[in-house]
Amino acid sequence: MKANITVLPGDGTGPEVTAAAVEVLRVVATRHGHDFHFDEQLIGGCAIDAHGDPLPPATLASCKQADAVLLGAVGGPKWSDPSAKVRPEQGLLGLRAALGVYANLRPVRVHPQLHALSPLKNEKLHGVDLLFVRELTGGAYFGAKTRSADTATDECKYTVAEIERAARRAFEFARARRKHVTHVDKANVLETSRLWRATVERVAKDYPDVKLEHQLVDSMAMLLLTRPASYDVIVTENLFGDILTDEAAALAGSLGLLPSASLGDGKVGLYEPIHGSAPDIAGKGLANPLGTILSAALLLRYSLGLDAEAREIEAAVDAVIERDVLTRDLGGSANTKEATEAVVQQLQTGRARAAA
């Protein structure tokens, strides 16, 4: 199949991890006879440096005509002055809004070999298999902001339509999984949460085969650590989803392992690891590429319909973890390139074995 993929390396370790994922996608394309065309564009801090704009028109145009977008990360100390008018993160938020990708899927699986890396006791980690559906284009991230000398506000606004489309995605995914949706909110305090609760309950009526429960976000933060295996699909608003998924990454062993897929009703999906630009390790070859490589697998599955190829990448990543080719965040000594080459080699030998 032919596909146009826009690649946005971004800042910090972004270029290192996207190069790894593109290499893996090229190997998959060659082995399966696909024709992937990659168009690399600027976003975030590097785009501010080059054009004074974190989301230049050429970048947006490329993303809009693409079948899928693969992003590294944006931001870093160079652009973090609190008084700056233009920030790298505005580029990412602008892109999510422009593509209309309101449902951010963040799967969390825990590889048995990495149990020891989690701060939790091993027995709590057995069977952890979560899918977060984080609403991505609404809430406090996109509300009106005000600032005076001694006051600041961030409006948190949600409409029924915004809540409903995210909730439907969660129930649809739950149907194909363990049929359990946990909706996370702060309905004891926030009016937006009460609208979420009412809307999610109404949507749930269309999915009588799926069990729905509600949890308040403060207690959910605790439950994720005390009984993470009890949950299946977790649906929540933008800000809560941001925080809870970084927390959930600790279950998996490292932030560097978690992928994400952002989907809307349009054809273009946005794929990025959940971690940031990791400026503390940028340029040192230390970044774990697996979260971005797994994001490339999600790209194949959700934007290109290539589920078998996606599974091959996921199996190769599992095998590399089993072979103990681990980057420093996972307690190993492999660099980004070595971990990537191990995945590539696994794809090649794994398939050769299957064909033999």
Joined tokens for residue 252:
């998996």
Q: Any contact of residue 53 with Mn ion (CB under 5 A)?
A: no
Which residue among 11, 232, 237, 242 contacts Mn ion (CB under 5 A)? 242
For ligand NAD, give the closer residue by CB, 199 or 262: 262
CA gap 163, 148 in Å, rounded: 31
265 is catalytic: no
In single-letter form, the type of residue at position 332 comes to G
246 is catalytic: yes
3-state SS class at 71:
strand
Residues 6+ apart with CB under 8 A from 202: 164
49 is catalytic: no
Q: Any contact of residue 238 with ligand NAD (CB under 6 A)?
A: no
| Helix 307-322 and helix 14-32, axial crossing angle in degrees, nearest 10 | 120
Stretch of 96-104, 114-122, 275-283, 343-351 contacting ligand NAD, by CB under 6 A: 275-283
For ligand NAD, give the closer residue by CB, 287 or 294: 287
DSSP state of 75: -
For ligand IPM, give the closer residue by CB, 40 or 89: 89
Residues in 62-91 that interact with ligand NAD by CB under 6 A = 73-76, 89
In single-letter form, the type of residue at position 161 comes to A
Q: Any contact of residue 60 with ligand IPM (CB under 6 A)?
A: no
Which residue's CB comes closest to Mn ion? Answer: 242
Residues in 63-82 that interact with ligand IPM by CB under 6 A = 75
Number of residues that bind Mn ion (CB under 5 A): 1
Which residue among 22, 92, 130, 252 contacts ligand IPM (CB under 6 A)? 92
DSSP state of 208: T
The residue among 72, 104, 109 whose CA lies nearest residue 91 is 72
Q: Any contact of residue 276 with ligand NAD (CB under 6 A)?
A: yes
Burial class (CB in 10 A: 0-12, 13-18, 19+), 129: middle
For Mn ion, give the closer residue by CB, 104 or 182: 104
Strand (E) or helix (H) holding 82 = none
For ligand NAD, give the closer residue by CB, 48 or 255: 255
- What is the DSSP secondary-structure string of 235-263? EE-HHHHHHHHHHHHHHHT-GGG---EEE
In single-letter form, the type of residue at position 121 comes to K
Q: Which residues bind ligand IPM (CB under 6 A)?
A: 75, 89, 92-93, 242, 274, 276
Q: Which residues bind ligand NAD (CB under 6 A)?
A: 13, 17, 73-76, 89, 92, 255-256, 272, 275-281, 287-288, 291, 329
Kindly list the catalytic residues.
141, 186, 218, 242, 246
